[in-house]
Structure 1
Amino acid sequence: MADKVRVAVLISGRGSNMLALAEHRRRDHDRSYEIVLVASNVPEARGLVLARRLGIKTWSLSHKGLDRRAFDEQLDAALRSNEVELIALAGYMRLLSPEFVEGWEGRILNIHPSLLPLHKGLDTHRRAIVAGDEFGGCSVHVVTADLDSGPVVAQERVRILPRDDADSLAERVLEVEHRLYPKALEDYARALRAAEEEAQDE
């Protein structure tokens, strides 16, 4: 196939979804994306260590002392200098500035631990249980300026069991995330490259 889509994964913590994305890529070389950078607003994030062990380039900068726009300008510069084409948020616990989102319109994906549009924001598993929902789950969506409101490109349900608390539900949903996100990124990257090639042929 054509050149693989160059992906940056943004993390703030342990990087378990980043690892799932990377391992998916490594298992089969006939993939549509390549992770070329793992970036974080937390220089001590454990996921950066995992990325380096996998031979993936990393970038980090603490957001402390910087306003959102100033930080995002430096992040944007790092992404563009590494010729990134698509961004995957994977446990990135920082809101992106409107200017950043606009500059990467249609090229930022996020995985959210609820069945969007239900339970946007934080504490999703407890809120699903309190609401009496039959299912929790996760959604991969395109990032827009409105929090957790962009188009959903993939979603999977996880039944909420009578014995579930927020932690047990979160653990089972995370297992699904690790399966859903790589496939969603694969499909989105493939469609992105196909659209670019079609535009060039016109």
Structure 2
Amino acid sequence: MAGLRSTPPPLDLSAVPPDVRAAVEAALAGAEVPVHRSGRALGVLTVRPAVLEGEVLEAPRLPPPQVEVPEGVLVVATAMRLSREARRRLAGSFGPGYLVLDLHEAPASTDVLLVNPVSVQLLEVLQARFPRARVVVTEIEDHELGVDYAGPVGRVLRAGASAYLPPRPVTAVADGVRAHLEGTTAPALEAAAVTRAELGSAGAG
């Protein structure tokens, strides 16, 4: 019939409502999103390949490769696109007690998930895939290796802010500001202090 498109128009996620964008982002990450109309189920929305913050990643191989992890070694999965050299440098900086793998090569028993700032919906999908992993959100800026995963915190710091304090009670804000002004310690960008020993024991459970 005249007027019908042979292919659907492209979808601009920046132009859709937040709830629609969240649903599509979840589908891009590999989730199955139920589709309804007036309370009636129409089907399930699935999308490939997976997308992290606009970066198109190669779809994971199925089944995932088996990885032999030496006893006492912690597995770190990187959820951002990194070159082979960048991942080699990262692994070298971690040292012999860690095994750094790409997201698609990491086992479900991964101990640490290293991810750039992403949506809450996408983070939930990643946590479901690696239920035992502690999630560490990081911004990376390495001009030598051509890696740039900036986020809102990095942008405001580059714009002139001198420090960032993570969410904390009102009474703890002054301590963080004083520590920054006095240079006694760097503001801790963490939800809770976790030692390497605690991390290993958590993964074992």
**Could you say which TM-score interval applies, normalised by the shorter chain?**
0.3 to 0.5
- TM-score, length-normalised on structure 1? 0.32
Which entry has the higher C-alpha Rg, 1 or 2? 2
- Please give the TM-score of this superposition, normalised by the length of structure 2: 0.32
Which has the larger share of helix? 1
Answer 1 or 2: higher relative contact order, Cα 8 Å, separation at least 6: 1
